[in-house]
Amino acid sequence: MHADDCLFCKIVLGAEPSNRVLETNQFLIIKNKFPKAPVHVLVLDKQHRRKSDTISGAYQGENYWESMFDAINKALVKLGLDKTGYELVSNGAGYNHFEHEHFHIMGGYKDGIGPRT
C-alpha cells in the first residue's frame, strides 16, 4: 500500500532519488537530504502507514515495533553510531512534516555530544 502523493512512498518505490544506506524487508534507511547532524538518516516504513495508526497500536499483531527497532539497530551498527552515540527522534502531532511513519537517527557529533544534550 502506497500513497500516490507521499514523498516517502515515492522514495521507497524508486520514483524519487535517495541515498540508500540499508534495507530490510519492511524498512528503508536513507540519508536525510537536509541533515541536522553530521550523520542523519531516516528510517522509512516501506508501506504507507500513518504515524497516528502506528502509535495507536493498529499494527501490534505484526510485531511492528520490534521490526522497526531491529532496522534501527542494524542502521546504528552499520553507521558506527552504536559505539559513538546517537539521537533517535520520532516527530508527531504537528511536529512532523510527513504523516508517513518514520524515525530520524542523528549522530556523528564531536565527542558524541549533540546540540540537544
Asked if residue 1 is part of any domain, the answer here is no
Residue 103 contacts residue 88 (beta carbons within 8 Å): yes
Residue 39 contacts residue 104 (beta carbons within 8 Å): no
What contacts 24+ positions apart, CB below 8 Å, involve 66-72?
67/24, 67/25, 67/26, 67/27, 68/26, 68/27, 68/43, 68/103, 70/24, 71/22, 71/24, 71/26, 71/27, 71/29, 71/43, 72/43, 72/103, 72/105
Please report the pLDDT score of residue 77 as a whole number. 97
Candidates 40, 48, 100, 102; catalytic one: 102
CATH code at position 83? 3.30.428.10
Domain holding 80, by residue range, is 7-110
Asked if residue 82 is part of any domain, the answer here is yes
Please tell me the pTM assigned to this model. Answer: 0.86
Which residues, other chains included, contact 58 with Cβ-Cβ below 8 Å and sequence gap of 6+? none
Asked if residue 56 is part of any domain, the answer here is yes
Q: Has 102 been annotated as catalytic?
A: yes
pLDDT profile of the chain (117 residues), mean per 10: 82 94 96 95 91 67 84 97 93 66 91 62
Asked if residue 116 is part of any domain, the answer here is no
Please report the pLDDT score of residue 3 as a whole number. 74
Asked if residue 17 is part of any domain, the answer here is yes
What is the number of domains present in the chain?
1
Asked if residue 80 is part of any domain, the answer here is yes
Please report the pLDDT score of residue 61 as a whole number. 62
Asked if residue 2 is part of any domain, the answer here is no
